[in-house]
Amino acid sequence: MSKNKKIIIAVAIILVVVLVGWRLYEGRQQGGVIKIGALLSLSGDAAAWGQNAQEAISLAVAEINQKGGIHGKQVQIIYEDTAGDAKQAVSACQEVTSVDHVAAILGPLTQTELSSIIPIVDKDDVPVIAPDYIPLQNRGNLSNPLLVWMDAQTEASRMAQYVWSQGIRTVGVAGTLDSWENTVSTAFAQEFQSLGGIVTKEEIVQPDAADMKLPMAEITATHPQAIFLGTYYQFVNSTKTLHDLGYKGRLYSIEVDDYLAGQTHEWTQGLQFIAPDFYTSDFMNAFKAKYGVAPGLPAGQAYDAANILFSFLDRGESQSNILQEMKNFHEYNGVSGELQVTPDGRTLLPTALFEIEATGTIQRISSLN
């Protein structure tokens, strides 16, 4: 065999070895990742919630990957912006399931969005763990989605009981047609009436209503001792309008965050609300070290949702295994507190009473369970 032929054969062998080696490496790289979809409202009216959730999920992923991932595989999150819109949530869900072939989904964050993707995940048996809430009557499958959020009816009822305990006997209620806000407003009103209280006027408006003067005037005209605001979308408009109308009664609400408190503190000093209790100090410190700010809602619940999913994946990476783990799931001690899923499918978490101070800071008053 000539010297040139030997060189050509040697080069060919080297190329084959390199190509095979690259294919094997590429295969290992592809097999070394667990893909998870995260459907979050990263723009629009609920962007602050979505960004808080994204940061918390990213923190959880960084922690698990630093420990070697799951079965030696790194966790990869594919974030999709839903903009708080049901149609975009459906498109995002189809993208991560049909194109990215994710093992599971985290999110969405609103009841309308979550309800919109249920037909897809039911048909394809895709596990969903969401820092969100859906009424029991709207859930065919009580284990999927797995909800890592306080049952809205229970939370609103707790607040009604507190308002009654403060000697309030007449109350006006304001909410919107958003599914969660409508549930909250209705549950508060029903519980308050069951205790013997009188709801003088209940105003339910569109979430994007531009003017709250008429509904707030309708409520104040009934002279209630207090007004309950079961709304995030219209919280700023409602409280500003009540201030302009000169309303002097007590104000109560549900799940006010730092953004709302900061926007309204000039006229909401003393407003009390119920919300998930403070997160554990370890999580608070880790979040602040990474992002420079304290975690807001729903960061702790999103962090817990991610870690619950990781625990399922650790016991088996197939979707069928995750779904079975979700059926057997009843409690979890996370950074949001002791989460419990009742036999009838309600998710319960520790809640507390908070108050907005003159500076816009939020002060915890007491537990409210």
**pLDDT tens for each residue of 75-88:** 999 999 999 999 99
Same domain, 82 and 143: yes
Residue 69: CATH number of its domain: 3.40.50.2300
Query: Higher pLDDT residue, 227 or 10?
Result: 227
pLDDT of residue 24: 37
HSE-up (13 A, CA, CB side) for residue 228: 38
If you average pLDDT over every residue of the chain, what do you get?
92
- Residue 344 within a domain: no
pLDDT of residue 251: 98
- Residue 289 within a domain: no
Same domain, 269 and 159: yes
pLDDT of residue 369: 86
- Residue 284 within a domain: no
Per-residue confidence band for 2, with pLDDT thresholds at 50, 70 and 90 = low
Per-residue confidence band for 344, with pLDDT thresholds at 50, 70 and 90 = confident
Same domain, 192 and 260: yes
Q: Rounded mean pLDDT of 11-27?
A: 43
Same domain, 45 and 136: yes
Same domain, 90 and 223: no
Please say if the pLDDT value at position 11 is more than 80.
no
pLDDT of residue 138: 81
Per-residue confidence band for 28, with pLDDT thresholds at 50, 70 and 90 = very low
Same domain, 229 and 358: yes
Same domain, 139 and 158: no
Please say if the pLDDT value at position 234 is more than 80.
yes
Kindly state the percentage of the chain with pLDDT values over 70.
92
pLDDT of residue 3: 52
Please say if the pLDDT value at position 6 is more than 70.
no
Please say if the pLDDT value at position 29 is more than 70.
no
pLDDT of residue 240: 98
pLDDT of residue 137: 81
- Residue 225 within a domain: yes
Same domain, 102 and 69: yes
Query: Higher pLDDT residue, 140 or 64?
Result: 64
- Residue 27 within a domain: no
Task: Dump pLDDT digits (tens) for 217-230.
Answer: 999 999 999 999 99
- Residue 230 within a domain: yes
Please say if the pLDDT value at position 4 is more than 60.
no
Please say if the pLDDT value at position 42 is more than 60.
yes
Q: Rounded mean pLDDT of 241-245?
A: 98
Q: Rounded mean pLDDT of 299-320?
A: 97
Its pTM stands at 0.83
Same domain, 103 and 194: no
Task: Dump pLDDT digits (tens) for 92-133.
Answer: 999 999 999 999 999 999 989 999 999 999 999 999 999 999
Query: Higher pLDDT residue, 240 or 259?
Result: 240
Same domain, 130 and 160: no
Q: Which domain holds residue 261?
A: 152-277+352-367
Task: Dump pLDDT digits (tens) for 143-175.
Answer: 999 999 999 999 999 999 999 999 999 999 999
- Residue 343 within a domain: no
Same domain, 197 and 305: no
- Residue 346 within a domain: no
Split into its structural domains, the chain has a count of 2
pLDDT of residue 241: 98
Same domain, 157 and 143: no
Q: Rounded mean pLDDT of 61-69?
A: 97
Task: Dump pLDDT digits (tens) for 175-204.
Answer: 999 889 999 999 999 999 999 999 999 999
